Structure 1
C-alpha cells in the first residue's frame, strides 16, 4: 500500500531533507508541497539537487486538498504550526517538526518561547516524538511533536543513564557543537560566510536555550524528580552535524554498560566500544546516532558523547521514522541509507 503525504514548509532545509528521504520510500508518495514565499515554483528551482525527482510544484497551504492526504509533515517555523495544524482536518495524521507541541505544559511553552500557546487543546493530544522512548504512543498517535535536534542528542546520551541510576543527577554538564543548518534557511547576518567561517562561538549561554525546556521535561520524567542540567551550545562552521559532550559523575564502565543495554536492540543507536568516541562525519546524511563513553582521569567521572545529523536523525529522519510507525510501516523503511563519507 502506498500512502499519500504532504510536506508543509518544503522550501526549508528540513522540508528538503524529507523529500530526499521519501524519494526512495516504497510506501509513501508525495502529493503536495507547500512553500509560502516560493509558491508557484518547481522544487528543482528551489533545490536543484532534487531536480531528478518528479515532484509537485510548491503551492500555498490553502491550495492543498487534504482529503487526498494520509499524513502531513509540518516543517513550518515555530509559532506558525499551532495555527496551521489547528485548521487541518481532524482525520489527518500529522508529524510536526517545529517546537510548537514539544512541551506538554502550556506554561512551559510560554516561558521558553515568549508567547501563550495558541492551541492548548491540540497540545493535550500531542505525543513527544523521540521514537525510541515513545514508540508505542507514537504508533497510536494522530499528532506527533518532533524533538529539537539538540534535545535529541542530549537525551540519547543521558535518558538511559538517568533511568538506570548510574549518574549523579545534580552534576550533569552538556557541551554541544551544532552545524549551521540547525538555524534554518532564513537570511541572518551572523550566519553569513564571513561571519561564521574560521571560528565557532557559544550562544544562548547561561541557561537560556529553548531546548532546555525539553531537557527539563524529559530528564525530570525519567528521574521521577526535578533534574536541571548545565547546557551550552556552540555554532560551528559546518553545514550538518551535532556532537554532544556530557560530563558526568558515575562509574564509566557502569555508564557504558547501561547505554549498551538500553540500545542493544535499536537499529539506529550505535554504542561504540568503551573508550571510543564518535564524530559527526560518521553519521552525515544518515539516521544513525553514534554514542561513546570514555573514563575521565579522575576516578568516578566519565565523558559521554552523542553524534547525530541534525537534519536527519535530529529532525526529518526522526519525522519519517515516526510517520512509519503511525502508518503501520516497518520503522526502518526509507532510513537505512549509509552515512555520506568523506
Structure 2
C-alpha cells in the first residue's frame, strides 16, 4: 500500500483524482489540500462524495504533505508546481504533476507559451506521461509531467503512424472538441451556462498553448520538426473530448492497414481500443473511463487519412492517466483503480 496525497484536490481534475484514488486497492489517500476550502470536507465541495469520502481538505504545507505521502499528485495552475515540486523531490517523494510545468523538455518552448521556468534542471529530468508511449521511461522516473487532454487525444492516434512512416507530417491538421469542464472550475464568462449551452464554437485557433506541447513530442518521434495545425472547439457538454485529425498518406494504404498498425502498437496497452473498420468513436462510450478509442477512415479521392479519437478529458485526459502513471511508476498493474466497467449509455 502506497501513501498518496493530492495538492489541489477541489478543482475538477483534483476531484476526479480523489474519486479514483479513494477506491484504488493499493493506494492509501492520506492527505488532500485546498487553498480555498481548507478546513472543510471535500464532500461539502462535491456533495456526490457525501458519506463516501468525507476527508477534510488541509491548507498546503510542504512539510505536512511530505510527512504524510510518499507519492504526490499536484493538480494546480501552471507556475505553482515548479515552485513546490523541487522541494518534494528533495524530500525523496515521487511526483505526478497535472499542470504544464514539467511537460516540456525545452525550457525555451515552455517559456514561449507560459512564463520563465524556475526549475529547468528538474524539467529536463521529468518524463512526459503519455502512458502508452513512454511506459518504460515512466517506470524509473521520480517526476512525471502529465499530458494535457488535447495532446493525449491527438498524440495517441498519430505517434504509431508517424513512427511507421505512413503519413506526411507536413500535412497534419487536428480539430478537437472538448466538454466545458476542460476550462476548469474557476468561473469565467465563456463557460457560463448561457454562453456555452446551445452553442458550438472554435477558440484559440492555431494559438492554443497545447499546440507547442504536441509539436515537441511529435518532432521527437518523427526525428524532424513537426508543426501541426490545431483548432480546439467548445462543445455544450460537461465532459468528453473528440478529436479528428487529417493527414496525407505517403503510400496507398487501405483502412485495414492503418488499423493494423495502431493495433500492433497498442497490443499490450489495455486503455487504447482500436475501432473495427467502418466504425469511429463516440464520447459517450468513454465517459468516466480511462479509455482512448481510435478509429480511422481513408478519403481515397484525396489520399487523405482521417483519424478520430475519443477520451474523457477529466479521466484519460487528466486524473485517470495520472493514476495510470502512478501504477506504472510503482510497477503495479496499470489498470488498478481504473478498471471499472464503462457505462453502456
Does the TM-score normalized on the shorter chain lie above 0.5? yes
**What is the CA–CA distance in structure 2 between the aligned matches of 1:11 and 1:289, rounded to whole Å?**
25
State the Cα deviation string for residues 72-100 of structure 1 (Å, max 9, x = none). Answer: 01001111111121232520010001111
Corresponding residue for residue 216 of structure 2: 217
Q: Please say if residues 245 and 304 of structure 1, whose CA atoms lie closer than 8 Å, have aligned partners that are also in contact.
A: yes
**2:279 aligned residue (276, 282, 295):** 276
Q: Is 1:313 aligned to 2:316, yes or no? A: yes
Question: For structure 1, which segment, 289-298 or 170-179, has the greater mean C-alpha deviation from structure 2 after superposition?
Answer: 289-298
The runs of 5 or more residues in structure 2 that have no matched partner are: none
The runs of 5 or more residues in structure 1 that have no matched partner are: none
State the Cα deviation string for residues 26-69 of structure 1 (Å, max 9, x = none). Answer: 10011101010111110110111112324431111117241231
Q: Please say if residues 66 and 89 of structure 1, whose CA atoms lie closer than 8 Å, have aligned partners that are also in contact.
A: no
State the Cα deviation string for residues 146-191 of structure 1 (Å, max 9, x = none). Answer: 0000000000110111000111111111111011111100000111
Q: CA deviation at 1:136?
A: 1.0
Q: In the superposition, relative to structure 1, how do residues 210 and 69 fare at CA in structure 2: closer, same or farther (>3 Å)?
A: same
Q: Please say if residues 89 and 95 of structure 2, whose CA atoms lie closer than 8 Å, have aligned partners that are also in contact.
A: no
**What is the CA–CA distance in structure 2 between the aligned matches of 1:89 and 1:293, rounded to whole Å?**
42
Q: Please say if residues 252 and 300 of structure 1, whose CA atoms lie closer than 8 Å, have aligned partners that are also in contact.
A: no
**What is the CA–CA distance in structure 2 between the aligned matches of 1:341 and 1:241, rounded to whole Å?**
15
Corresponding residue for residue 69 of structure 1: 69
Corresponding residue for residue 228 of structure 2: 229
Q: CA deviation at 1:252?
A: 3.9
**What is the CA–CA distance in structure 2 between the aligned matches of 1:236 and 1:65, rounded to whole Å?**
37
RMSD value over aligned CA atoms? Answer: 1.3
**What is the CA–CA distance in structure 1 between the aligned matches of 2:293 and 2:97, rounded to whole Å?**
25
Question: For structure 1, which segment, 12-21 or 332-341, has the greater mean C-alpha deviation from structure 2 after superposition?
Answer: 332-341
Q: Please say if residues 42 and 53 of structure 2, whose CA atoms lie closer than 8 Å, have aligned partners that are also in contact.
A: no
Alignment of 1:111-260 (within 5 A): 111-113=112-114, 115-205=115-205, 207-250=206-249, 251-253=253-255, 254-260=257-263
Corresponding residue for residue 95 of structure 1: 96
**What is the CA–CA distance in structure 2 between the aligned matches of 1:53 and 1:93, rounded to whole Å?**
27
Q: CA deviation at 1:323?
A: 0.5
Q: In the superposition, relative to structure 1, how do residues 181 and 110 fare at CA in structure 2: closer, same or farther (>3 Å)?
A: same
**What is the CA–CA distance in structure 2 between the aligned matches of 1:317 and 1:180, rounded to whole Å?**
18
**What is the CA–CA distance in structure 2 between the aligned matches of 1:155 and 1:219, rounded to whole Å?**
8
Q: Please say if residues 88 and 95 of structure 2, whose CA atoms lie closer than 8 Å, have aligned partners that are also in contact.
A: no
Larger helix proportion of the pair: 2
Q: Please say if residues 180 and 238 of structure 2, whose CA atoms lie closer than 8 Å, have aligned partners that are also in contact.
A: yes
